[in-house]
Amino acid sequence: MNDTPGNAPDDRDPAVHDPNGNASYGHKPFERSRSHFADRITADGREGRPVEAGRYRLVVSRACPWASRALVSRRLLGLESALSLAVADPLQDDRSWRFTLDEGGRDPVLGIRYLSEAYDAREHGYPGGVSVPAIVDIPTRTLVTNDYQQITLDLATEWTALHRPGAPDLYPEHLRAEIDEVMEGIYRDVNNGVYRAGFADGQGEYEAAYADVFRRLDLVSERLTRQRYLVGDTVTEADIRLFTTLVRFDAVYHGHFKCNRNKISEDPVLWAYARDLYQTPGFGDTVDFRHIKQHYYRVHTGINPTGIVPLGPALSGWLTPHHREELGGRPFGDGTPPGPVAPGEEVPAEGRP
């Protein structure tokens, strides 16, 4: 997660460097920083890191929408046995993401207590934020990349030799220009827009971000009245990127980030679309609503100083019929759904509807 204002030269993340999550941004607009470590893992190793089964570990927080993209992509593509998974505690201390969910407070594969240790191994004294998703080289316990925009694209296009049989094509070449265009607007106005609204420290800044969020959601809703998925007739990277914001919207962004014109559940098209994806294997089975709410409401004390975590909204609606199949489309194209969730990676009952 890289909830980063662009005030300081190193674009530090308030939820990482300030354990209270306070945001005092000097009336500068929220600006998400670029990933500092942008190495790529490619099929031929042309950028120095070759795809290799078992060599790397994906570190995520289930609270983080940017990390959740990687979780969904990894599931849909069947990369569980090739790319192992570490899940950080949704709550952070002054050293940021920690492995307190694991026995002894250490990641069992990397042997480290904090993700920052892998960052330090890569660049000692690195001054920037420790963000997820991150991919770590297991033999050296060294960070490879935290480039949340590129990681999932590479999982879809560079890791193909390790995809499961029947894996969908999440970034089909003939649709990439359209996918990129759709994703750019969604990223700017929705994925990042909710943060611009939530971390705004001026009324005008907040109102501009709020307007962008709902203008884009209205455009997306109109688009989805005619087709089941954002681009083409199958699930693509664009759907993954929109889903991870929609699934957090009513639980967090509507109240906590003041994006409260309406809930997603009050837009019939977006609510049906979100439920369709949630009920598609590989999407909802990666979502932990408890982690999401614990992180946002307890870490961002500059926004929620009491640290009280709301009990609602009710989650049962996520499992109700959506009828989106009436628009046609096949979620996996000529492929097949992913198999059961890997042992040990199941979302606990308290995080599910």
The pLDDT tens digits of the residues spanning 102-116 come to: 999 999 999 999 999
In the predicted structure, residue 28 carries a pLDDT above the cut 90: no
Choice among 25, 56, 64, 171 that is catalytic: 64
Choice among 25, 56, 119, 195 that is catalytic: 195
**Second-level CATH architecture of 14-162:** 3-Layer(aba) Sandwich (3.40)
CA 197 to chain centroid: 18
Portion of the chain with pLDDT greater than 70, in percent = 90
Q: Which of 17-31, 56-70, 214-228 has the lowest mean pLDDT?
A: 17-31
Q: What is the pLDDT of residue 3?
A: 52
The pLDDT tens digits of the residues spanning 206-229 come to: 999 999 999 999 999 999 999 999
Q: Which of 179, 159, 175 is nearest to 167 (CA)?
A: 159
Higher pLDDT, 168 or 11: 168
- Whether 25 is catalytic is no
User: How does residue 32 score in pLDDT terms, banded at 50, 70 and 90?
Assistant: low
Q: Which of 44-48, 147-151, 220-224 has the lowest mean pLDDT?
A: 44-48
Decide if 97 contacts 60 (C-beta within 8 A): no
Question: pTM for the full model?
Answer: 0.92
User: How does residue 31 score in pLDDT terms, banded at 50, 70 and 90?
Assistant: low
Torsional sign, CA 172, 176, 182, 188: positive
The pLDDT tens digits of the residues spanning 285-329 come to: 999 999 999 999 999 999 999 999 999 999 999 999 999 999 999
**Secondary structure, 3-state, 18-53:** CCCCCCCCCCCCCCCCCCCCECCEECCCCCCEECCC
d(CA 278, CA 123): 38
Decide if 145 contacts 135 (C-beta within 8 A): yes
- Whether 64 is catalytic is yes
> Parallel, antiparallel, or unpaired for β 56-60 and 41-42?
unpaired
In the predicted structure, residue 21 carries a pLDDT above the cut 80: no
Mean pLDDT, residues 191-210 taken together: 98
Q: What is the pLDDT of residue 48?
A: 80
**Second-level CATH architecture of 178-351:** Up-down Bundle (1.20)
**Any known ligand binding at 318?**
no
User: How does residue 125 score in pLDDT terms, banded at 50, 70 and 90?
Assistant: confident
Mean pLDDT for all residues in the chain: 91
Indicate the domain borders of the chain: 14-162, 178-351
